[in-house]
Amino acid sequence: MNIFEQKSRFGEYGRTGVLHTRAGDVLTPTFMPDGTRGAVKGLTPQQVVDTGVGVVLANTYHLHLQPGEAVIKELGGLHAFANRKGPMLTDSGGFQVFSLGEHVKITEEGVHFKDPKTGDKRFISPEKSMQIQLDLGADMIVAFDHLIGLGDETETEVKDAFDRTHRWLERCIVEFKRLTKDMDEAERPLLFGVVQGGLNLKLRKKSLEIVQESEVDGIAIGGLSVGETRAEMETVLKALAPLYRDDRPRFLLGVGTPEDLKIAVENGIDMLDCVLPTRNARHATVWTSKTCDAPSCQTAELSALKELEANSVVETSGTQSSYQVYDSFRASVSPSSSSSRKSYRAKGKNNQTIENHSTPSNELICSQCGDLLSEKIHLTNER
């Protein structure tokens, strides 16, 4: 099966294409909202579809802990559980496991950790990660890798994680083949191998070479957006950009600000995921633009929006922020459609101070959203 078709190029390394999955085709570049437990917080399944989302990402670690892959499988799989017909992707669970810090013990076999809620001992290996993701029923899955942060880690620690990631990839591939051996090519999920190496460009390039030579369907870039600067992330992406094969999708894990999306797609990335649009909205921060076509921009009256409490603002702004993520993609692949974005904090409970997170050069736009923003910022200045 021809998994990825490159359709056009823009800039030096950017491209558009079509990713073929068993649940349908996905136009790329695409942003994948994180539905941690299968559902994107603050949005109904239909609202997710309406924003233009091609893929929803679900989190293996959280679903494994609750309700468990066996329960989801019995219910008909992730699509039935999430009430979604379109493509779904699960990550390996590695990021969340390694983020537990001192509660994690890493061995060559896998990772031992405690359930944060119950204290029960848990274990995830490369094989177990494949088993969980196949039981969940995702259309795309990610190999289990050894994530390392960008704090005080030594070169030796980075190299050890780099080597273990590739040994684990081999085990993931063996287990994936075993689990899918009876599936037709068109029925099986796609497997992504993970590129690691920290900020060491030599290791990053070698990791990409190893993953691309492996029997995987897609390339995932891991270990970024974990504490490095935007410039450091861009340096890594620029180093990898000329080395990608054209016939495989490229997925940058855990990156999602509008600025980062632009950097990523200009350097050849096809897929990105992040919690930011809906997480920010749940904390009363939204993105807006001069081409805002979210329901809150198109249908809400200013007088009504002004009176919304924080939780109500979140309900409308979750969809609005998701629309603006896609607007940033339109701007990336078609410079003529670029737009100004503005982020702001809406009115909080008990009339607490309203923060303005916008940049001075951004324009206020959209008769409703623009007026609302002007008034909110004006109130902030008065206080």
Active site residues: 91, 273
Residues contacting 35, CB < 8 A, separation 6+: 41, 48, 56, 57, 58, 82
Helix spans in 222-275 (H): 230-240, 258-266
Q: Could you tell me the sign of the dihedral formed by the alpha carbons of 214, 98, 322, 38, in that order?
A: positive
| Residues 106 and 75 sit within 8 Å (Cβ to Cβ) | no
Kind of pairing, strands 271-274 and 30-33? parallel
What is the C-alpha to C-alpha distance for residues 243 and 274, in angstroms, rounded to an integer? 25
Extended beta strands in the chain, E state: 4-10, 14-21, 24-28, 30-33, 56-58, 88-90, 104-106, 111-114, 121-124, 140-142, 190-195, 218-221, 250-252, 271-274, 285-289, 341-345
Q: How far apart are the first and last CA of the chain?
A: 61
What is the C-alpha to C-alpha distance for residues 39 and 34, in angstroms, rounded to an integer? 8
Of 89, 131, 96, 133, which Cα lies nearest the Cα of 111? 96
What is the C-alpha to C-alpha distance for residues 289 and 284, in angstroms, rounded to an integer? 17
SS3 153: coil
| Residues 33 and 322 sit within 8 Å (Cβ to Cβ) | yes
What is the C-alpha to C-alpha distance for residues 100 and 97, in angstroms, rounded to an integer? 6
Residue given tokens 């303005």 in the structure block? 356
What is the C-alpha to C-alpha distance for residues 4 and 20, in angstroms, rounded to an integer? 6
Of 128, 143, 224, which Cα lies nearest the Cα of 190? 143
Region for residue 157 given its phi and psi (left: phi exceeds 0; alpha: psi -120 to 50; beta: otherwise): alpha
